[in-house]
A and B are shown apart, each in its own frame.
Chain A
Amino acid sequence: MSQPNRLSVGGRIDRSKPIEFSFNKRSYEGYAGDTLASALLANGVNLVGRSFKYSRPRGIMGHGAEEANALMQLGQGAVTVPNPKATQVELYSGMVATSTNGWPSVEFDLMAWLGKLGGPFMPPGFYYKTFMFPQAWWLRYEKFIRKAAGFGHISQQPDPDIYDKLNHYCDVMVIGAGPAGISAALEAGRNGKRVILADEQCELGGSLLASQQNINGASASDWLGTAVTELASMANVVLLSRTTVFGYYDHNFLAALEQRTDHLGPTAVKGTRQRLHRIRAKAVVLATGAIERPLVFGNNDLPGVMLAQSVSAYINRYAVVPGERALIMTSNDSGYQAALDIQSAGRTVVAVVDCRYHAEGRLAQMARAAGIEVITGHGVIEACGSHSVTGAVIAPLDQAGDQITGAQRSVSCDLIAMAGGWSPVVHLSCHTGSRPVWDEQLIGFVPGPNVQQQYCAGAVVGHYTLAHALSGGAAVGAEAAGAKVPEIHFDCGDETEAQAQALFLIPHSKSVSRAPKQFVDFQNDVTAAGIELAIREGYESIEHIKRYTAMGFGTDQGKTANVNGVAIAAKALHQSIQATGTTIFRPAYTPVTFGALAGRDVGSLFDPARYTATHQWHVAQGAKFENVGQWKRPWYFPKAGETMQQTLNRECLAVRNSVGIMDASTLGKIDIQGTDAREFLNRIYTNDWSNLKPGKCRYGLMLKEDGMVFDDGVTTCLSENHFLMTTTTGGAAEVLAWLELWQQTEWPELEVYFTSVTDHWVTYSLVGPNSRKVLEQLCNDVDLSAEAFKFMDYKAGTVAGIPARICRISFTGELSFEVNVPANQGHFVWQQIIAAGEAYDITPYGTESMHILRAEKGYIIVGQDTDGSLTPQDCGMDWIVSKTKAFSFIGQRSLHRSDTARSDRKQLVGLKPKDPAAIIPEGSQIVMDPNQQIPMDMVGHVTSSYWSVCLDHGIAMGTVKAGFSRMGETVYCPLVDGRTLAAEICSPVFYDPNGERHHD
């Protein structure tokens, strides 16, 4: 296959490794080392897309991150990648690339007709202005406008790729591996510092990769090879290629995206596709270089109009000449380099059009000596051609470059290389909050004052010559490493350049508003006329101009457009560029995949799941699980063929009639010790702990300062100064933090220590009238009789030979024993209890039956029946609030506020459905008058609701305004399905109201 624009020698490509790829369904061939852009140009393809708004044909204009036009849709199906820049995509075998827009094809685009017809009538704000009326129709318009707008598409399927993250610390972080960055990294590394050098390209080297200069007698390429070898040999230096530092945050924290497998194509991918590097650096060296500015002239967006430096890069690095007959327009000396490179490659240079009146610099003289025509004091005012450049119109300009002073003439060419000066890549320095500063001499924005330990080297601070970049890099590398600046001399030959001209808009014979479109922002179709119109319409702040015109939007973020746009706006506003300023550059510098930001925190790794020591047994029994906090708790244990309700009925009846067992290990457990432990409990809980004797347990309720219920649980007195507190499953960590907070900050004088033992102990609730008989078989050193081991007693002993703490605590109203053993032995003890319970058909039950059984007794679940707005009195639990404690307790004062003392607060009551078979959905709103017009007066809501097989009735709990004084009244729950359920307000204690069973 022919590559008409490929040179037979030179470049950093491997001609022995041809690579086939397709673009817009046509097959082409490139070489290893190519980017998609260089391969397309080698094949003579330069029409790569259609523009955003006017659907104008667009070509490749740059060779790196600055590219604004060549957005691609890469790959197909689940792995398709939207909008990578062809200039940054490394070619791989079998690559399938298409243009991101253009319908039915980029060559013949229907939208372009609208763009051409409507072009003059599509100013900034066109859509808002045109589709404003009637307002209600906007949604209809929008559907079609959206379809026409935008680039690329994302996959609708789950992303099959793997992304991860790596944390780094270093002394010196060097960003950019061009001459300045490499030089800085070398110095920092030689000083023994931990160094990271990151660069977005596949090879370290930056501009050295396409340089024809010598460094100290060696070619740039050889010097680079030696430097990279030295860096790679240093154990203290980490080299990250294909890695873009996209964000620079406070405290020298940086985020970088490494593309690990993108260059191999989707089929070759194994392991991590992209890696997010999170870097914390003591010092940062910005060696981010500079981007060449386009010149703004008529039809400057035609395919074939390219940046001069990019033309040189294609020739020298990729051995591709993107045209036969080149015209160069420059406002500085660097355009001459492209002219020399094109001529060396054997193609024709029509002329160099220099906007300046004097072009006597070193490179200009070299061009003239090489026989290249130099036309000074002229500009290219218009490019000609329909789908690509076929010629140009040039005209003489005045000294300032803003008037045409004579006759224009046409020249024939197929490539226009433009050199409008340099824009330092200040983005990262701006991320830190520093505003860039306009430098009149450099004609560009340079980084503003440092706000953290940051150094800059090379083109980013206007050190454009190779020698200056190398020596500046070495100096800041040493400085960042805290070392003495070395005396290294870099001889790169004569690099002097003549003063450049500040020129941001080439005049046309017609006025800006009438001239052919003069593009400023190629990606967003923003023209010089658009910016001037925005200002005429009253937008004066550059931030407003940006948003009105879309300049600097999108994946491009105005990398080539911003300075020209700011300068055009400044001129129209009759103010300086510095006064106009730039828009704020924010992360990310280049687009970042969401996958990389998520990393491995996806799927089963998204959130930790916590398991009890008996989890395997539950799984083997076919338990269904419920999330409680991060814990997986058995929800219910269905047998074959059972519905969930049948399971619950069986489990509840087993508990009430024989014996059930529940894994309650997830309850929070806090060991509390110290001479002031008892006093501490007095202050934390609402009730009095002064007289709780060793060997006794007590239920407690905790409030926050506002008097609202916060947590509850049973605390056991193990010995005079030693307690074990239990908390709710979800509240364990918060309660421990709460205790530590009060002890450490408010009551440090109290001698008390807290230790979390949640994970040390498993807790098995053995519940039901036969529970004693089961436990008796496993426990021979504790008298379990009702007389010796009373309700709310605690005893230490052994269960199945394992040291255990046994309590008579009940959350069901039945006789029950809570067995605690160390978790290492938990699984064993559980199995022993199950075996011992076989004769009584011991039934494991889960959280759902637990909820039903406790609701039958009217026991609250904090977080379900309470929501942070209920006081103990609201819960009907005034009995647990001590009125006699010497010291206050947390929340006590708030219980006497007028609001908490109101009698019409929402109060927790029982609700008995009038229809015995009805189960009122939890969360239902409660009203007093079911026939009231909407909006109805809602007096509360249902907090818990179940079918009680033991009562053969639906039961519920809920909050009702002044509920305690409405016992026996009927309330109504209107449901979403249109039904209304009636219920009677009652005591929440539905079962065994006198508590005879658990005292058994």
Chain B
Amino acid sequence: MIKCHSETIRTPLCDAVLAITSDTNAGIYMRENTFGHLNLRGNPTDKAFLSSIETVLALNLPLIPCSSVRSDVFSVYWLGPSDWLLMVPIGTESQVAADLRDSLMGQHSAVVDISSAQALVNLSGVKLPELLQKAIVYDCDPTHLPVGKVVQTTFAKTGVTLCRCEDGSIDLIICRSFSDYFTLWLRDASAEYGLAVVDACLSRPKVSAQT
């Protein structure tokens, strides 16, 4: 994980209207986690495809709908019957993609780097259940969205991929160009609970209003 802002890199939430706070009483905590994102397509009934992936990642692709697997290095979300999201340490996405393509040579598959296309936001806090109830129509109760389950739904009016983390927090993956809308909505919805932004390196406010 790297800081989300450097001379050459600006991650999707860089421009969001948020200030880092050290508020310890906030009901909601938010953090932008920066990973390399690879979209992986292939035939799950093809043993060669599965083993080619396993060779590179040292883990088995999740085949159960809405599931995920995680290793120390990688996490993989099931998105559809032939569709996975692979998250890798930032900076390694080109190499992992190249390794996968090598391993998959000659097989019907696709490995596409979408690291800049989306942001991963981690939300936690005592008011997380209420916040999710405001924004998301899906039932995010831990009995219904247990650790490791991956769901694609909506956050207000933008698409989102959700996954429950081991610590009970929620990872949300949102589309880059909707990150401003997401942030506005998050700020608004968490106003009554208090919102604290952790770890994010956010340099200057974004002006959303246009004349």
Enumerate chain A interface residues (CB-CB to B < 8 A): 164-169, 194, 271-272, 278, 280, 600-601, 604-605, 607-613, 615-616, 619, 624-625, 631-632, 671, 673-675, 751, 753, 755-761, 801-803, 822-828
Is B3 part of the binding interface, using a Cβ–Cβ cutoff of 8 Å? no
Q: Is the CB of A616 within 8 A of B114?
A: no
Given A759-B118, A759-B176, A822-B113, 19 more contacts at CB 8 Å? A167-B134, A167-B139, A272-B192, A280-B139, A608-B156, A613-B10, A613-B176, A615-B206, A625-B210, A753-B109, A755-B39, A758-B117, A803-B94, A822-B115, A823-B176, A824-B10, A824-B115, A827-B10, A828-B10
Pairs of residues from A and B, 5 with the lowest C-beta to C-beta distance, nearest first:
A760-B117, A823-B116, A610-B177, A759-B117, A608-B181
- Kindly state the separation between the CA atoms of A801 and B137 in the bound complex, as whole angstroms: 44
- Kindly state the separation between the CA atoms of A825 and B39 in the bound complex, as whole angstroms: 19
Q: Is the CB of A828 within 8 A of B176?
A: no
**What residue of chain B has the Cβ atom nearest to residue A165's Cβ?**
B134
12 A–B contacts from the bound complex (CB under 8 Å): A166-B130, A169-B139, A271-B192, A278-B137, A604-B208, A605-B181, A605-B185, A624-B211, A671-B112, A760-B117, A823-B116, A824-B10
How many whole Å from B49's CB to the nearest CB in chain A? 12
Is B22 part of the binding interface, using a Cβ–Cβ cutoff of 8 Å? no
User: Helix, strand, loop or mixed for chain A's interface?
Assistant: mixed
Chain B hits for A619, CB < 8 A: 207
Contact A757:B112 (CB < 8 A) given known A167-B137, A600-B189, A824-B9: yes
Q: Is the CB of A759 within 8 A of B188?
A: no
Is B133 part of the binding interface, using a Cβ–Cβ cutoff of 8 Å? yes
Is B92 part of the binding interface, using a Cβ–Cβ cutoff of 8 Å? no
Most chain A beta-carbon neighbours within 10 Å: one of B118, B180, B191? B180
Chain B hits for A624, CB < 8 A: 210-211
- Kindly state the separation between the CA atoms of A613 and B143 in the bound complex, as whole angstroms: 38
**What residue of chain B has the Cβ atom nearest to residue A169's Cβ?**
B139
Q: Is the CB of B41 within 8 A of A753?
A: yes
How many whole Å from A838's CB to the nearest CB in chain B? 19
Q: Is the CB of A757 within 8 A of B117?
A: yes
How many whole Å from B199's CB to the nearest CB in chain A? 17
- Kindly state the separation between the CA atoms of A597 and B119 in the bound complex, as whole angstroms: 30
Chain A hits for B184, CB < 8 A: 604-605
How many whole Å from A406's CB to the nearest CB in chain B? 65
Q: Is the CB of B185 within 8 A of A166?
A: no
Chain A hits for B176, CB < 8 A: 613, 759-760, 823
Which residue in A169, A271, A753, A828 is a CB contact (below 8 Å) of B8? Answer: A828
Is B50 part of the binding interface, using a Cβ–Cβ cutoff of 8 Å? no
How many whole Å from B8's CB to the nearest CB in chain A? 4
Query: What number of residue pairs across chains A and B have CB atoms under 8 A from each other?
Result: 138
Contact A755:B116 (CB < 8 A) given known A608-B158, A609-B181: no
Q: Is the CB of A167 within 8 A of B115?
A: no
- Kindly state the separation between the CA atoms of A823 and B11 in the bound complex, as whole angstroms: 8
- Kindly state the separation between the CA atoms of A608 and B208 in the bound complex, as whole angstroms: 11
Q: Is the CB of A169 within 8 A of B141?
A: yes
How many whole Å from A799's CB to the nearest CB in chain B? 12
How many whole Å from B193's CB to the nearest CB in chain A? 10
**What residue of chain B has the Cβ atom nearest to residue A270's Cβ?**
B192
Q: Write out, one digit per residue, whether chain B residues 4-21 have a CB within 8 A of any chain A CB (1) or not (0).
A: 000111111001000000
Which residue in B108, B144, B180, B206 is a CB contact (below 8 Å) of A751? Answer: B108
Chain A hits for B15, CB < 8 A: 611, 615-616
Q: How many chain B residues touch A (Cβ–Cβ < 8 Å)? A: 52
How many whole Å from A923's CB to the nearest CB in chain B? 24
Chain A hits for B134, CB < 8 A: 164-167, 600
**What residue of chain A has the Cβ atom nearest to residue B39's Cβ?**
A755
Most chain B beta-carbon neighbours within 10 Å: one of A167, A607, A631, A756? A167
Contact A825:B114 (CB < 8 A) given known A600-B185, A604-B208: no
Chain B hits for A803, CB < 8 A: 94
Q: Is the CB of A607 within 8 A of B9?
A: no
Chain B hits for A759, CB < 8 A: 114, 116-118, 175-177
Contact A824:B116 (CB < 8 A) given known A165-B134, A169-B139, A615-B15: yes
Is B209 part of the binding interface, using a Cβ–Cβ cutoff of 8 Å? yes
Chain A hits for B158, CB < 8 A: 608
- Kindly state the separation between the CA atoms of A280 and B158 in the bound complex, as whole angstroms: 22
- Kindly state the separation between the CA atoms of A826 and B204 in the bound complex, as whole angstroms: 17
Is B66 part of the binding interface, using a Cβ–Cβ cutoff of 8 Å? no
How many whole Å from A439's CB to the nearest CB in chain B? 38
Q: Is the CB of B110 within 8 A of A674?
A: yes
Chain A hits for B39, CB < 8 A: 755
Which residue in B7, B8, B117 is a CB contact (below 8 Å) of A823? Answer: B117
Q: Is the CB of B208 within 8 A of A609?
A: yes
- Kindly state the separation between the CA atoms of A268 and B192 in the bound complex, as whole angstroms: 15
**What residue of chain B has the Cβ atom nearest to residue A821's Cβ?**
B116
How many whole Å from B159's CB to the nearest CB in chain A? 10
How many whole Å from A835's CB to the nearest CB in chain B? 14
- Kindly state the separation between the CA atoms of A278 and B135 in the bound complex, as whole angstroms: 12
Chain A hits for B74, CB < 8 A: none
- Kindly state the separation between the CA atoms of A671 and B110 in the bound complex, as whole angstroms: 9
Chain A hits for B8, CB < 8 A: 801-802, 825, 828
- Kindly state the separation between the CA atoms of A826 and B116 in the bound complex, as whole angstroms: 10
Chain A hits for B41, CB < 8 A: 673, 753, 755
Chain A hits for B12, CB < 8 A: 823-824
- Kindly state the separation between the CA atoms of A278 and B206 in the bound complex, as whole angstroms: 33
- Kindly state the separation between the CA atoms of A759 and B39 in the bound complex, as whole angstroms: 13
Is B82 part of the binding interface, using a Cβ–Cβ cutoff of 8 Å? yes
- Kindly state the separation between the CA atoms of A85 and B152 in the bound complex, as whole angstroms: 44
Contact A611:B116 (CB < 8 A) given known A751-B108, A753-B82: no
Q: Is the CB of B133 within 8 A of A608?
A: no
- Kindly state the separation between the CA atoms of A606 and B114 in the bound complex, as whole angstroms: 28
Which residue in A608, A751, A822 is a CB contact (below 8 Å) of B116? Answer: A822
**What residue of chain B has the Cβ atom nearest to residue A607's Cβ?**
B157
Q: Write out, one digit per residue, whether chain B residues 104-144 have a CB within 8 A of any chain A CB (1) or not (0).
A: 00001110111111100000000000100110110101011
Which residue in A607, A671, A760 is a CB contact (below 8 Å) of B115? Answer: A760
- Kindly state the separation between the CA atoms of A882 and B155 in the bound complex, as whole angstroms: 44
Contact A168:B133 (CB < 8 A) given known A631-B177, A757-B117, A759-B175: yes
- Kindly state the separation between the CA atoms of A187 and B121 in the bound complex, as whole angstroms: 40
- Kindly state the separation between the CA atoms of A446 and B129 in the bound complex, as whole angstroms: 38
How many whole Å from B205's CB to the nearest CB in chain A? 10
Chain B hits for A616, CB < 8 A: 15, 204, 206-207
How many whole Å from B78's CB to the nearest CB in chain A? 16
Contact A673:B110 (CB < 8 A) given known A625-B210, A823-B176, A824-B116: yes
Chain B hits for A271, CB < 8 A: 191-192
**What residue of chain A has the Cβ atom nearest to residue B203's Cβ?**
A616
Which residue in B116, B144, B157, B209 is a CB contact (below 8 Å) of A601? Answer: B157
Chain B hits for A827, CB < 8 A: 10
Q: Is the CB of B7 within 8 A of A828?
A: yes
- Kindly state the separation between the CA atoms of A600 and B185 in the bound complex, as whole angstroms: 9
**What residue of chain A has the Cβ atom nearest to residue B112's Cβ?**
A755
Q: Is the CB of B192 within 8 A of A755?
A: no
Q: Is the CB of B108 within 8 A of A675?
A: yes
Q: Is the CB of B141 within 8 A of A611?
A: no
Chain A hits for B178, CB < 8 A: 608, 610
How many whole Å from A461's CB to the nearest CB in chain B? 30
Q: Write out, one digit per residue, whether chain B residues 146-159 have a CB within 8 A of any chain A CB (1) or not (0).
A: 00000000001110
- Kindly state the separation between the CA atoms of A277 and B112 in the bound complex, as whole angstroms: 41
Q: Is the CB of B114 within 8 A of A757?
A: yes
Contact A612:B189 (CB < 8 A) given known A632-B210, A755-B114: no
Chain B hits for A632, CB < 8 A: 210
Q: Is the CB of B114 within 8 A of A604?
A: no
How many whole Å from A831's CB to the nearest CB in chain B? 10
- Kindly state the separation between the CA atoms of A758 and B159 in the bound complex, as whole angstroms: 15
How many whole Å from B175's CB to the nearest CB in chain A? 5
- Kindly state the separation between the CA atoms of A671 and B114 in the bound complex, as whole angstroms: 10
How many whole Å from B206's CB to the nearest CB in chain A? 7
Chain B hits for A758, CB < 8 A: 117, 177
How many whole Å from A960's CB to the nearest CB in chain B? 36
Chain B hits for A165, CB < 8 A: 134
